Structure 1
Amino acid sequence: MKYRLLIILLAAFTVALQAKKTSNGFAIVIDSASYQQAENEVKRYAESIEADGLKTYLIIDRWFHPDSIKQELKRLYHVKKNPIEGAVLIGDIPIVMVRDAQHLTSAFKMNQKRDWQQSSVASDRFYDDFDLSFDFLRQDSLKPLFFYYSLRPDSKQTIRSDIYTARIKPLEKGKKDKYAQLRDYLTKVVDVKTKEKNNIIDNLSVARGYGYNSESKVAWSGEQLALKEQFPTLFNPESYVKFMDFDSYWPMKPYWMNEILRPDLDIMLFHHHGSNDRQYVNGYKSGSDTNTSIENIKIYLRSKVSSAVKKGKDKEETIAYYTNLLDVPRAWCEEAFDPVLMEKDSVMNASLEISVDDILAISPNARFVMFDACYNGSFYEDEYIAGAYLFNNGKTVVTQANTVNTIQDKWPDKFLGLLDHGLRIGQWGKYTHFLETHILGDPTFRFAKNSAGDFDINDALTIHRNDNRFWRKALASPDVDIQAMALQMLYENNDPGISDLLRKSYFESFDMIVRLQSLMLLSRLNNDAFVEVLAAAATDSYELTKRYTLDFIGKNGSEELLPAVARAILNDNTSKRINFKISSAYRMLNLDKLEAELLNQSENRPLYAREMLDNTLKSIRSANQSKKRDIPSISDKSISVSKRASEISRFRNHPASDEADILLSVLADRTDDPELRTAAVEALGWYNYSYHKEYIIGQLQQLVSTESNETVLSEIKKSINRLSGQ
């Protein structure tokens, strides 16, 4: 194979490896040291990508700055012949730490006054979404790989990546040095892709950890029904699908580890809590018998007492505190210093979680692993869970994981069924990620197509990406995820009839996936059709659709939707996560009218017991009192700025539509604290689902020409763009 030098830049040089019969390209970006250490493996990896029909560009980074790399990727995306559809960042490629863009994450809302390494989000959206504009702030003095950037007010404020990206970032603390890890990983990828070209998805496992989605059985069963729609052949005799809940056994860790080792496992989906180096599987052993209850209390006390003393607290005072607090024997607290019990607790705690070291001690075989968990994809750390699966023996070649915390109430399996059509993992990730979500490993990896017909999903999302006529025809596909993707592309391409189409799709589709996709896209339009569908979707058969609906209803705030909330309270009171969403919405609704509606609907309803209803009414009244007490404090200048700021920050999670004027009044008062005014307008940027959204935009636009404080003005412009969907 011949290498032809195309261009030498300040930041990098690029060479092209010619693939046969291809229309798209793919970029391999690698630092010079890693390339020197793994040149042969990189070339073989590039050949494997070309064998799959992508022209490969090799970019060797020598300037070490994110802007230079982004400009080269952007250039390759716009070339007329063989434009890139994606890129992989190998080795020590600069890590962009994004600031002032928490609205692009699913859940991350840390105070940015905290340490920058903690309060910034490591994100490769910098490299793959060319419409996101940033201001460079500085390079980290302690971690030179970190480059801090701020999202500009005049930037697009939504994610719509132009290409897909992935990281191949070896562990700094792995079984071997990072260059040996890289060589071994690339060799593994080529081996798996070469030997398993015809491997279809016929083995899939799903595991759920404790505390995830309130441990709701309804949510858990809903996902299983949805996966059957997305992967119909998986439920046939020739295939194997498995669901493992955390409480099936205690501890569940050995069963998860065994599953990871299965040689024939294609996909492993994890839903659990996590950290950069841990997958949290179980909590303490559950049980109603006396011995289990007593033992759990003892374990809790030993943990609390020991931890407090290690932090410097007086031993005797700590023992006395917990003895009195829980009214337990002093001896139970003193056990914290028993060497035998300390060792026993250590072993027990290790059995409740999977660590990086645990994974490095085995050979994971699931080809693709999804970590629906916080921090498991923290490739900026010396060690991270997703990396332990990749830079290891076995057959795991690609993962999806998050660099910071992530919301539980999301659609983690969105478009997943397209993998059954041979979709590249990178393309799947491109349409599912938040700021924190990343593909780690080879993004060009794909399973063999397991569907009839000549529909090529990879060509559809590249060659036909902007062809609305093509996607209108795709709506006739019997496959739910192809229909869902067709709706996605028609929305992105601004199809003139998209609102009516989404409304029609929701009300006429028999498929849960299509209805949910229609709802999600309508939420971005936030029009009359959205409100109409919300009223109906509160009783949808799919739990996740109902969960999203009740979240949207709270954030929309329209009183037209209160009857739907009341019905959900009466009909879905055994669904834990639905109840959680309803109670979370209280602060955003007119609670006087909700209480009246609930009483009206329950008046002639036969009830065996009223306890649930009475408890709900009690919660509504309590939330109402709290709301009426707290809201006025926002504009009360006799209260400290810090307390007022704390109250304003609550609107980021609970943007109450009927209280928007209070935030606007703080913003409009130029005698008020500038930092508080900035917080108020930033909070208004979270009103994108509100029925008052257009009103808020209008009020903010009136302030643009008169605001003199540059920081406040900058945030006003950003919030306008956020609310406008820009």
Structure 2
Amino acid sequence: MNIKKKSALVLSAATVMLGLYTGAAAQQIEKPLKKNTATTFAIVVDQETYNKAKQEINAYKSALEKQGLGTYIVSHQWTKPEEIKVVLQKLYSDKNRLEGAVLIGDIPIPMVMDAQRLTSAYKFDQARFGFRAAVPSDRFYDDFNLKLNFIKQDSLKAGNFYYSLAPESAPEIHPDIYTARIKAPAIKGKDKYELIRTYLSKVVAEKEQQNRLNHLMVYSGMGYASESQTAWASEQVALREQLPQLFRAGSSAKFVNSRMQGDLKQRLLTEVQREDLDLAIFHQHGESDVQVISGYPNVSFPQPSIENVRRYLRNKIQAANRKKQDVAETKKRFQATLGVPMAWMDDALTDSVVLADSLFEANGNIMMEDVDKIRSNVRMLILDNCYNGSFHKDDYMSGHYVFGSGKTIVAMANSINVLQDVWTTELIGLLQHGVRAGNWFKEQAYLETHLIGDPTFAFTAEGNTDYNELIVNKDGSDPVWKQLLKTGDADLQALALTKIFYAQGAASSSLLKDVYYSAADASTRMQAWKLLSTLNNADFKAVLKDALTDPYEYLRRRSANMAGDFGTDDLVPALVASGIEDWASKRVAYNSGNSMSFMNADLVIAQLQEYLKKPEFAGNTDIQRLIKRQEGTREKVLKEGKVMEDKKAVAKERAFDVNMLRTYTYHELVPQAIAIAADAAEDHKLRLAAVEALGWFPYSYQKDKIVALCDQLIADKNSTAQLREEAMRTKTYLLHFSAEKYQTVAKK
């Protein structure tokens, strides 16, 4: 038989029509050539990209099937996200379960509204900014439990589709499959189809390599985690437990922070070019086009300290000049407020100085064009910062690493801003066991978190067990997970806890508590803490109190935050102790101080004063500062409460105080917010804002009162549909964090 004809027949036999039509063309689904694989995978691509990169996409499919992953190619001229989701759900329900998908080319972008509680930190005022507050998120495609109601297609960016989280939707992120984007950034002089073709060829070549995870680099940038040295050191200890092979002869683990001297930008760019570098983690601030590396030098001698101050002053004066403000008045103001001589500002607008300052500023950031000039070879990159994964824009930072000329295959990045205290290294130890990036990612995902590149990327496994198949096909009732609890591997134990929790729900509470108190490894204890926090029961309350003194800094940091979320008096002594005695842990002390603001102010002050009576703390200025801060908070809460109660107060002030509760959860102000929401005579927008703000109190001792309000609004025939929906959304979220919710749970 003619070879060309034979290939055509095979391809024709492997191509089926799903029966979903948009216009004249149907979606084309090319089935796996390899049958009965343990799991399957889908390549979803737009028709134009498929036409222009068919050879490379088919080669990618072949490489995946060679690795034992049955692969579909789903192509179409997509007109809306629903077309894709229906296909993925159907493939997921098949006997050979779909484990993940990659979205190649111009794939519709879901923009999600009314779901900020499903992000790590996003609190953009949706009422004020409208669709600008939407979150670009592929959870639309991979989390089948999320119910998202269509709003509209963007009139200018036709690829963007807006959705609202349904009031009755599951208020959590728990992807059924993993997804990733292969979307070329706008690299100057490069055609997007050429970039995709070249990238896929790189992926196929990498799949031929045997590469264990044995070289790591971690960078903690300016301002990250309050630049806490304890946080920096504690992460190293945890990673040694999670990835022990990195600390053996022949391997390497390099930890860098912004306080180190020298040209950090150049050194970091050198690091990612290393041929042997497997994994790099960047903890830092960022934007869609920049990674913030460092600020002014960390110095102590007089002359360099003076130069830092002068550089700061010049920056302010140059900014005033650009804005056409009065430069002379700006100088006088700084001279008066900072007590600096005028001579320190005389050269601020000198051309050579402006240029030098500009170069200095640029050297503190990694820009997209910097990445284009190098060969980034780190195979997997975690960009733990804001906006570097803004794939909804034409150009975005993470894309330049992935689509560059080096060997970088996959990056995890965020489409919007992200919380500094996110647990970026959760289950990271699974990667050493050959777990695919996508299967690891499923437990990492927030609404904003995304993989850019090939989600099937995996390091060569240390052993023979196929953990990918276990993750996809074995639920928590399978005996394998209890067996894994007996291993000495920190993250295999953590994975087993997660699976058992999803199967047993509240029935796993005592196990989680026991593991917290018995586990030697930090990440295993952290996983038990995290799962217990969802149950929000007596076991968790006991663990929370003790976790404030856990050896793992990150666990103490999270617990300090969580104590403020509860706001109960019984946590005050432990929280105050954390704020005072854990002084060496800058980020923990910072979080403890913040949480004290949400507690009973009189009780906090009394506890602080008790410390001052102890000889070792007598005259302690940090404690005195905390007392003053608490006194100020007490006055602030009293003042804001009166404003919220006063219907004659300025409307903007009342609205500001209500919206403030989304970020500053003052439990004492909950009754005032409830009163506004319940009063039919109040402004409708203000009532909506109050109901939405009350949804940020899932652990509050006032929670029952909030739920009762929601029930009242839902039952009230005079409530508007919008008010009823917001009340339902708030109630659903609050009740999610309770043991009752998980009494009969059986997830996946």
- What TM-score results when the alignment is normalised by the length of structure 1? 0.96
Report the CA distance between 1:99 and its aligned residue. 1.0
Structure 1 range deviating more: 282-291 or 537-546? 282-291
- For 2:457, the equivalent position in structure 1 comes to 445
Look up the SS of the partner of 2:207 in the other structure: helix
Q: Is 1:184 aligned to residue 198 of structure 2?
A: yes
Structure 1 position 506, deviation (Å): 1.1
Residue 407 (structure 1) shift:
0.4
Secondary structure, counterpart of 2:629 in structure 1: helix
Q: 2:664 maps to what in 1?
A: 654
Deviations 1:492-512 (A, max 9, x none): 223452111111111222221
**Counterparts of 2:156 and 2:633 in 1: how far apart (Å)?**
46
> Counterpart of 1:637 in structure 2: which amino acid?
K
Secondary structure of 1:87's counterpart equals strand
The alignment status of 1:669 with 2:679, answered yes or no, reads yes
Deviations 1:698-719 (A, max 9, x none): 3322331115222111100000
SS of aligned partner of 1:724? helix
Q: Which moved more, 1:695-704 or 1:481-490?
A: 695-704
Select between 178-187 and 291-300 the one with higher mean Cα deviation.
291-300
Q: How does 1:176-215 map to 2 (within 5 A)?
A: 176-194=190-208, 196=209, 198-215=210-227
Which of 535, 551, 555 pairs up with 1:541? 551
**Residue-by-residue CA offset, 1:262-311 (whole Å, 9 max, x unaligned):** 00000001101111111111101232333223322322232222222323
CA-CA distance at 1:355 after TM superposition: 0.6
The whole-number CA distance in structure 1 between the counterparts of 2:40 and 2:320 is 56
Equivalent residues of 1:203, 1:264 under 8 A apart: yes
Q: Kindly state the Cα deviation for residue 85 of structure 1 after the two structures are TM-superposed.
A: 0.8
What SS does structure 1 have at the residue aligned with 2:504?
coil
Q: Which residue pairs with 1:88 in the alignment?
A: 102
2:424 maps to 412
Q: CA deviation at 1:21?
A: 5.0
Q: In the alignment, residue 295 of structure 2 is paired with which amino acid?
A: G
Deviations 1:357-404 (A, max 9, x none): 000100001000000000111112222111010111111000100011
* 1:10 and 2:24 are equivalent in the alignment: no
Pair 1:65 & 2:80 matched: yes
**Separation in 1 of the partners of 2:450 and 2:207?**
21
One-letter identity of the residue aligned with 1:249 = Q
Q: CA–CA distance in 2 between the matches of 1:302 and 1:612?
A: 33
**Deviations along 1:622-653, whole A, 9 cap, x unmatched?**
22222222222212112122211111122212
Which AA in structure 2 matches 1:708?
A: S
Aligned partners of 1:600, 1:302: CA distance in 2, in Å?
A: 46
For 2:387, the aligned partner's letter is Y
Once the two structures are TM-superposed, the CA of residue 423 in structure 1 deviates from its matched residue by 0.5
- The answer to whether 1:519 aligns with 2:529 is yes
Aligned-residue offset at 1:678: 0.8
Task: Give 1:179 deviation, angstroms.
Answer: 0.8
- 2:681 is paired with a residue of what secondary structure? coil
**2:318 is the alignment partner of 1:303:** no
2:594 aligned with 1:584: yes
Preserved CA contact (<8 Å) 2:34 2:65: yes
Residues 271, 372 of structure 1: 8 Å contact kept: yes
What does residue 538 of structure 2 align with?
528
Q: 1:326 to 1:563 in 2, by over 3 A?
A: closer
Q: Which residue number in structure 2 is paired with residue 717 of structure 1?
A: 728
User: For 1:507-552, what per-residue CA distance to the aligned partner results, in whole angstroms no more than 9, with x for missing partners?
Assistant: 2222211111111111111111111111111111111111111111
SS of corresponding position for 1:447: coil
Quick one: distance in 1 between partners of 2:306 and 2:505?
62
The corresponding residue for 2:744 is: none
Question: What are structure 1's unaligned runs of at least 5 residues?
Answer: none
Does the C-alpha gap of structure 1 residues 468 and 698 become closer, same or farther in structure 2, counting only changes over 3 Å? farther
Distance 2:705 2:639 in 1: 26
Alignment of 1:99-110 (within 5 A): 99-110=113-124
Contact 2:115–2:164 under 8 Å retained in 1: yes
CA contact (8 A) 1:10 1:63 kept: no
| Residues 292, 366 of structure 2: 8 Å contact kept | yes
> Per-residue displacement from partner, 1:633-685 (whole Å, max 9, x unpaired)?
21211212221111112221232334322221111111111111111111111
Residues 305, 318 of structure 1: 8 Å contact kept: yes
Q: 1:31 aligns with which of 28, 46, 49?
A: 46
1:548 and 1:417 mapped to 2: Cα distance? 21
Counterpart mapping for 1:106-505 below 5 A: 106-113=120-127, 115=129, 118-194=132-208, 196=209, 198-330=210-342, 332-451=344-463, 454-495=464-505, 497-505=507-515
8 Å Cα contact 1:524-1:689 kept in structure 2: no
Contact in 2 for aligned 1:566/1:601 (Cα 8 Å)? no
| 3-state DSSP of counterpart to 1:517 | helix
In structure 2, stretches of 5+ residues that fail to align are 1-6, 742-748
Do the aligned partners of residues 67 and 61 (structure 1) sit closer, same or farther apart at CA in structure 2, a change above 3 Å counting?
same
CA distance change for structure 1 residues 116 and 630 in 2, over 3 Å: closer, same or farther? closer
**1:63: Cα distance to partner?**
3.3
In the alignment, the residues of structure 2 paired with residue 479 and residue 694 of structure 1 have an alpha-carbon distance, to the nearest angstrom, of: 40
Query: Following TM superposition, by how much is the alpha carbon of 1:79 offset from its aligned partner in structure 2, in angstroms?
Result: 1.9
Contact 1:523–1:689 (CA<8 Å) still a contact in 2? no
> Is the partner of 1:68 in helix, strand or coil?
helix
Contact preservation (8 Å) 1:128, 1:162:
yes
**Per-residue deviation, 1:115:** 4.9
Task: State the distance in 2 between where 1:63 and 1:411 align.
Answer: 35
How far off is 1:318 after superposition? 4.3
Cα distance in 2 between the residues matched to 1:541 and 1:49: 42
Q: Could you tell me which of 38, 51, 67 is aligned with 1:52?
A: 67
CA distance in structure 1 between the partners assigned to 2:320 and 2:467 by the alignment: 56
Of 297-306 and 568-577, the range deviating more from structure 2: 297-306
SS of 1:354's partner is strand
CA–CA distance in structure 1, aligned partners of residues 366 and 506 of structure 2: 50
Equivalent position amino acid for 2:194 in 1: A
In structure 2, the residue matched to 1:644 is 654
SS where residue 123 of structure 2 aligns? coil
Shift in CA distance, 605/546, structure 1 to aligned 2, threshold 3 Å = farther
- The CA distance in 2 between the partners of 1:308 and 1:150, in whole Å, is 41
Change (3 A) 1:364 1:446: same
Distance 1:672 1:350 in 2: 51
- Partner amino acid for 1:64? T
| Conservation of the 8 A alpha-carbon contact between 2:113 and 2:131 | no
Alpha-carbon distance in 2 for matches of 1:655, 1:700:
18
Q: Deviations over 1:98-139 (max 9, x none)?
A: 111111110111112455564211110011111111222222
Partner-residue secondary structure (3-state), 2:468: helix
Letter in 2 for 1:430: K
Deviation of 1:469 after TM superposition, in Å, equals: 3.4
Q: TM-score, normalised by structure 2?
A: 0.93
Aligned twin of 1:685: 695
CA shift, 1:24, in A, is 1.2
Mean CA deviation greater in 476-485 or 333-342: 333-342
Deviation of 1:61 (Å): 2.6
Bigger shift: residues 592-601 or 236-245: 592-601
Task: Indicate conservation of the 8 Å contact 1:555/1:654, yes or no.
Answer: no
Residues 545-571 of structure 1: CA deviation (Å, up to 9, x unaligned): 111111111101121111111221231
CA deviation after TM superposition for structure 1 residue 610, in Å = 2.1
219-228 or 338-347: bigger deviation: 338-347
CA contact (8 A) 1:20 1:50 kept: no
How many residues align? The count is 721
Q: Which residue of 1 aligns with 2:746?
A: none
SS in 1 for 2:347: helix
In the TM superposition, residue 60 of structure 1 has moved relative to its aligned partner by: 1.0
RMSD of aligned Cα (Å): 1.9
Aligned-pair CA distance for 1:430: 0.9
Instruction: Tell me which amino acid in the other structure corresponds to 2:731.
Output: I
